[in-house]
Amino acid sequence: MTYSKYFLPQTAKVPFLLTVGVIMIIIMILARTFSPNSLPLKASKKIVSSLDVMNLTHNQAKIFWQTEEKQSGWVIFGENERTLNRVTIDERDLQDKRSRYKNHLVTLKNLKSNSRYFYKIISDNQVVEADDGEAFSFITPAKIATSPDLVPAYGKLIRENGGAVQNAIIIFTLDNIYPLVTLTKTTGEWLIPLNYLVNKNSLKLHSVPSDATVTIVIVDESSKITKIQARFSHLSPIPQTVILGKDYNFLDQGGVLSASVKNKSGQKTKFEILFPRDSAVIPGGKPLIKGASFAGNQVIVSIDNDPGLSYKVSADKQGVWSVILSTNLPVGGHTLKARSTDTEGKETILSRNFSVAKSGEQVLGEATAEASPTLMPTEVPELPSPTIEFSPYLTQPPTFTPTPPTSGVDIKPFGVMSASLIILGLGILFAF
């Protein structure tokens, strides 16, 4: 029998359960300290003020959103709501260099036709999702033939000092269709094809009457907003160069040059030049030339008294006449004359001066006099959304989850695990 244990001093042993408890507390502290979510970011629901799907086609879509402050942002998306494994960055960003914006625009490419896609926005490493915590979604239309005969809408945007505005966002809106969007070029020029107008309800091509009212909203990073209202037939190009921050209304016929003529029944009617407006600066070489007279009346239109730029047209049943130029006009000032006679042979001549702008040149002088304040490419749903100042796209505010996606392997969890195992082993060793 061994009696030494009764007479020799013994080392105090730490109770096993107490040891395990201390070790678990240490492990929890380490895990909390080194966890990537140890300091959650607080996100305001007001961080995104607008969100919408635009330029929707059978194989592409653009996502536009706005933030109150400049933030970096991108989109994760996929066909499975639980596996958003595709990423696309802002159109103005490079893969290795991303900037911060208030107005964000990304393009989702290589989509399948007639398919539902889910997406979430990552804004400054915060996940923006629907109010119910789910991903936003939209459905691509079936592959359908486009309308090749529609001329693109285009124009030019300048600042008050005459400088061109680059990377401003141009948003084309029309009732019941998905909005169209593009960016201005370095010259301030922009172009939006109109051959793929998708109806929001049927997901089919939408037929637009020529007199339909179109609203074009222009925003840039300086928070200046321009709103343009025009007829669908007055977009190629927009009747004049536009100054950022000013609003334009081309729906009325104010400022037209007109005279009275008699129709066949002897009644007086107006003979008018509607476009181009007087002293307008045109952003393209083929200005919109349009006027009014009585139905069937013949009009002779000439530019700069050039025989090669002389046209004979007749007013249609609605009393509207127009000219499509066969060639681009050179840069500089031009004079348009329209001549018509009434049934008694009395001749009336109207004259209009305008200018064609050179790409990138400063044209403030003439554009300012005309400005009168009164606001997809072919490839390319329904979603809730918050509200934008100029157009309520969304109906519900998004929520924010501070769990951004990560790429690559995070070594922190392995470090925590390794440290925990070492502490656990030492604790057991000392305990026994």
89: nearest Cα among 51, 63, 111 = 63
State the pLDDT confidence band at 389, using cuts at 50, 70 and 90. Answer: very low
Contacts of 135 (CB under 8 A, 6+ apart): 81, 84, 118, 119, 120, 129
Q: Which CATH class for the 45-144+380-401 domain?
A: mainly beta
Once rounded to an integer, what is the mean pLDDT over residues 62-80? Answer: 94
pLDDT top residue among 340 and 410: 340
Instruction: Decide if pLDDT at 22 tops 80.
Output: no
Instruction: Identify the band that residue 386 occupies on the pLDDT scale cut at 50, 70 and 90.
Output: very low
**What local confidence, expressed as pLDDT, does residue 426 receive?**
60
Which pLDDT score, from 0 to 100, does residue 172 have? Answer: 97
- CATH code that applies to domain 153-249: 2.60.40.10
pLDDT score of 307: 85
Mean pLDDT of the region 221-231? 93
Share of the chain above pLDDT 90, in %: 37
Stretch 95-107: mean pLDDT, rounded? Answer: 92
Residue pLDDT, tens place only, 183-198:
999 999 999 999 889 9
CA separation for the pair 371, 363 (Å, rounded): 12
**Would you identify the CATH topology of the domain 257-358?**
Immunoglobulin-like (2.60.40)
Band (370; pLDDT cuts 50, 70, 90): very low
Reply yes or no on whether the pLDDT at 349 is more than 70: yes
